[in-house]
Amino acid sequence: MAQHKFMLKADWPGSRNDVGEIETKNLKTKVSIPTEMDGPGIGTNPDEMLLGAAATCYLITLAAMMERSKLKKNQLKMESEGIVDVTNNVLTYQKIIHRPHIVLKADATEKDQEKALKLAKKAESSCMISRAVKDNVTIELEPKIQIG
């Protein structure tokens, strides 16, 4: 069985409302608690990083599926939203909503639009991060597909 390993180094010099740093092979950034959660809001935070991991994994998976299906696009963009619930001072990452916007080539057919919608849905269940958070974080899709 092949494995891929990813390493992260972290330094947290202070207490709750201080600023730390993380570093991976291709990412180096400051981290802190977001201002929405009464933190300093410097650098990124775990909530944004989970949202970023889920969004990029989904988008790369969708792009690969579209390529394999020979579905030609002019554009593939997305906005994603992470929702954290606060109940009785307990924070729970409740939901991620992906809103992919696929613009197919001008010569695309209605069948191509249907295929794009099918792939948009399939990519969510095929993405490694989506599978990793399954049963803990709800992931919803609101795809928009256009021609031209």
Q: What is the pLDDT of residues 38-81, one digit of tens each?
A: 999 999 999 999 999 999 999 999 999 999 999 999 999 999 99
Share of the chain above pLDDT 70, in %: 100
**Region for 135 from its dihedrals, namely left if φ exceeds 0, alpha if ψ lies in -120 to 50, beta otherwise:** left
The average confidence (pLDDT) of the chain is 95
The two three-digit tokens of residue 7, written as one number: 């390493």
Given a cut of 90, whether residue 131 has pLDDT beyond it is: yes
- pLDDT at position 48 is 96
The stretch 119-130 carries a mean pLDDT of 95
Which amino acid does the sequence have at 67?
A: E
- pLDDT at position 1 is 86
Given a cut of 90, whether residue 141 has pLDDT beyond it is: yes
* Tokens 């906005």, located at residue: 79
**Which residues, 6+ apart, have CB-to-CB distance to 8 below 8 Å?**
22, 23, 24
Instruction: List where CATH 3.30.300.20 sits in the chain.
Output: 46-147
* Tokens 């928009």, located at residue: 144
Instruction: List where CATH 2.20.25 sits in the chain.
Output: 1-44
**Fold held by 46-147:** GMP Synthetase; Chain A, domain 3 (3.30.300)
Each residue's pLDDT tens digit, 15-40:
999 999 999 999 999 999 999 889 99
**Fold held by 1-44:** N-terminal domain of TfIIb (2.20.25)
The two three-digit tokens of residue 116, written as one number: 């794009």
Rounded CA separation 10/34 (Å): 18
